[in-house]
């Protein structure tokens, strides 16, 4: 199958990651589904193949917080797409949502949260910027959270990492817009409906990951005369 466009999704799992991968595959993209565990990705690739046929989508194992792993992973991606440029990079990796007081926060957990949210975004962005700048075209989307805007009690670990990602996204956008590359930061303000279990919370209080994916694709589809850098997403029942 000839590859027309390529989307790389970093941090694929149930919820946003797979929702976005599935949406771009549906729209005709070859999608590189990336996470630290390749075995867990294979069912997602199989689902895409069953739904949409041979889109050219594939799984790649990569630790986005490790420079050598990132370099190796993108080398594998490029070998599979036959030299085609990567048109879209979605950075959805993040540390686990962990509530713990600053007093009891482990220093390694604190460092790892920043690595997962921000260092990985930096390392993976570096891999695609040169070719995007060369074409004066491309899209990079980062997944943020409520914690990107405000740090709640017991969420210093998570909020500090998401604040860092937001600052990085803003700086990168200001560098990249004049070079034709669209950089967006999406604030997910609410709980994402991963397990479709409404026993503890009504359905209308969850964010549908497929709806999130549609928003990501709409950001990619925007005309250069009307780009959005930051957008927030929440269910209509969410208090904000």
Q: The CATH number of the domain where 87 resides is what?
A: 3.40.50.720
Give the number of domains in the chain.
Answer: 1
Q: Has residue 240 been placed in a domain? A: no
Q: Has residue 93 been placed in a domain? A: yes
The residues, ordered by sequence, that sit 6+ positions from 21 with a Cβ below 8 Å of its Cβ are 7, 9, 12, 31, 33, 44, 48, 57
C-alpha–C-alpha distance, residues 33 and 228, integer Å: 25
Asked whether residue 2 carries a pLDDT value surpassing 60, the answer given is no
Contact, 92 vs 23, CB < 8 A? Answer: no
Asked whether residue 3 carries a pLDDT value surpassing 60, the answer given is no
Contact, 110 vs 98, CB < 8 A? Answer: no
Q: What is the pTM of this model?
A: 0.95
Among residues 166, 170, 134, 130, which one has the least CA distance to residue 148? 166
Residue 191: beta bridge partners? 206
**Residue pLDDT, tens place only, 104-137:** 889 999 999 999 999 999 999 999 999 999 999 9
Helix pair angle (16-26, 38-52), 10° resolution? 40
Q: Where are the alpha helices (DSSP H) in 34-148?
A: 38-52, 67-80, 107-114, 120-135
What phi and psi, each to the nearest 5 degrees, are found at residue 83?
80, 0
C-alpha–C-alpha distance, residues 213 and 38, integer Å: 22
Range(s) of the domain holding residue 121 = 6-233
Residue 60: beta bridge partners? 34
What phi and psi, each to the nearest 5 degrees, are found at residue 206?
-105, 155
Q: Has residue 1 been placed in a domain? A: no
The region, left, alpha or beta by phi > 0 then psi within -120 to 50, assigned to residue 149 is alpha
pLDDT given at position 32: 98
pLDDT given at position 95: 75
Q: Has residue 238 been placed in a domain? A: no
Instruction: Quote the strand ranges of the chain, DSSP E.
Output: 6-10, 30-35, 58-61, 88-91, 139-145, 182-188, 191-192, 206-207, 230-233
C-alpha–C-alpha distance, residues 20 and 82, integer Å: 23
Q: Has residue 239 been placed in a domain? A: no
Q: Has residue 31 been placed in a domain? A: yes
**Residue pLDDT, tens place only, 185-209:** 999 999 999 987 888 889 999 999 9
């Amino acid at each position: 199958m000839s590859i027309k466009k390529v989307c790389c999704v970093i941090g694929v799992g149930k919820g946003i990651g797979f929702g976005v991968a599935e949406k771009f595959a549906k729209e005709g993209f070859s999608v590189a589904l990336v996470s630290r565990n390749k075995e867990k990705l294979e069912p997602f690739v199989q689902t895409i193949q069953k739904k949409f046929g041979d889109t050219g989508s594939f799984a790649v194992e990569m630790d986005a917080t490790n420079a050598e792993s990132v370099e190796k992973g993108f080398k594998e991606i490029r070998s599979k797409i036959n030299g085609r440029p990567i048109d879209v990079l979605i950075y959805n990796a993040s540390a686990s949502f962990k509530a713990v007081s600053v007093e009891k926060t482990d220093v390694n957990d604190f460092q790892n949260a920043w690595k997962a949210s921000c260092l990985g975004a930096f390392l993976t962005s570096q891999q695609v910027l040169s070719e995007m700048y060369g074409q004066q075209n491309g899209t990079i989307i980062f997944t943020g959270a409520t914690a990107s805007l405000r740090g709640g009690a017991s969420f210093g670990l998570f909020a500090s990492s998401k604040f860092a990602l937001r600052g990085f996204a803003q700086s990168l956008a200001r560098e990249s817009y004049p070079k034709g590359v669209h950089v967006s930061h999406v604030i997910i303000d609410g709980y994402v409906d991963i397990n479709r279990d409404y026993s503890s919370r009504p359905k209308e209080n969850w964010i549908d990951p497929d709806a999130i994916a549609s928003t990501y694709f709409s950001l990619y589809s925007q005309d250069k005369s009307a780009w959005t850098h930051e957008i927030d997403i929440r269910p209509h029942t969410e208090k904000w």
